[in-house]
Structure 1
């Protein structure tokens, strides 16, 4: 049985990145453990006037509806404050964790070893267990503090994949640009489930 993958959704702008990630992973029948931060719910409301429910069961239906995936794959959602969840323990085996999008506040707390909620605790577990952790920061410009925090994460082995799309795959829609970033983030976890025109040279 394939180990689950943890998806963290922080309060950064660009929740479409999380939605597209879930769409492809669930369609590919991956098992997903998802935790969205408290700030993520605030961003949903601010950017799209959408209320993300707090109850895990309702949240599962919410994410499936946003991603348009029906009952594909397996999705378990966790309350942001439930630090007693399975993903808060190193004894719970995973494929790793992807935080998409990742706010600079989340980057800073993980870099400092702080675990004020389940998302941060789950990330800290991946680092201490030497498992894969990928962050997709969505911020511009980066301040020196941001860069130092990202450097601290990179020095521990965390993969940093900024939300910077490319154009060589001839994108036609916003979703094409988003999917490029999602695919490159999942590449860091050796997951290839997104139809992407990859660079083959001139």
Structure 2
């Protein structure tokens, strides 16, 4: 995205499902496209990040913001992290929330909370705001196998306008590395956000 275009703002939530690599890669790609990112990371997600990656992300929102700003200083976008009960965060209100929200990955617990209207933390409230305001909500679900309640929640959320996007990478681009599989899913999210991406060529393109 060129600097002449209006900066897109996205609320990105990372919850405690396996596959946090999708969320971290999406954050990097959003910033590379000059997006302003309101970042929400659940307590469980911090634990999963430690297990699945070599990342050490502070739980304190201010320290996390500072660390990420330094890490991605070469990218044009901006990121700000918020705590799980920061009710003054923009995402907590329909008058302040971004036009798009992505939960990546989306845990079964978060899926349930969004489907039933729970707002016990900022991530759940932000998702509830997106639904009630009719704004874009993308849920990158990560669970298998799925039982009846999972499926019912997905159907209910889809009927409310959310986009259910399971982290199911394709193979027609002949992936050579795990990163290629991650990029496939992230590329689809970027496509739905209306953002440029060169991670994976669109079908029919070289």
| TM-score between the two structures when normalised by the length of structure 2 | 0.89
Residue 88 of structure 1 corresponds to 92
**For 1:151-180, what per-residue CA distance to the aligned partner results, in whole angstroms no more than 9, with x for missing partners?**
110000100110000011121111111111
Q: 1:133 is paired with a residue of what secondary structure?
A: strand
Q: Map of 1:1-202 to 2, 5 A cutoff? A: 1-48=6-53, 50-63=55-68, 69-72=72-75, 73-200=77-204
2: CA distance, partners of 1:199 / 1:114:
38
Would you say the 8 A contact 2:33–2:195 is kept in 1? no
Cα 1:78–1:6 shift into 2, 3 Å: same
Choose 54-63 or 164-173, whichever is displaced more: 54-63
Q: How far has the Cα of 1:187 moved from its partner? A: 1.9
Choose 35-44 or 190-199, whichever is displaced more: 190-199
- For structure 1, list consecutive stretches of 5 or more residues without a partner in the other structure: none
- The two structures, once aligned, show a CA RMSD in angstroms of 1.8
**For 1:58-115, what per-residue CA distance to the aligned partner results, in whole angstroms no more than 9, with x for missing partners?**
21244467xx633421101101121221110000152310000000100000000001
- For structure 2, list consecutive stretches of 5 or more residues without a partner in the other structure: 1-5
Cα 1:64–1:20 shift into 2, 3 Å: farther
Cα 1:89–1:142 shift into 2, 3 Å: same
Q: How far has the Cα of 1:52 moved from its partner? A: 2.6
Q: How far has the Cα of 1:47 moved from its partner? A: 2.9
1: CA distance, partners of 2:67 / 2:142:
23
Q: 1:116 is paired with a residue of what secondary structure?
A: coil
**For 1:111-168, what per-residue CA distance to the aligned partner results, in whole angstroms no more than 9, with x for missing partners?**
0000110011001000000000000001111111100011110000100110000011
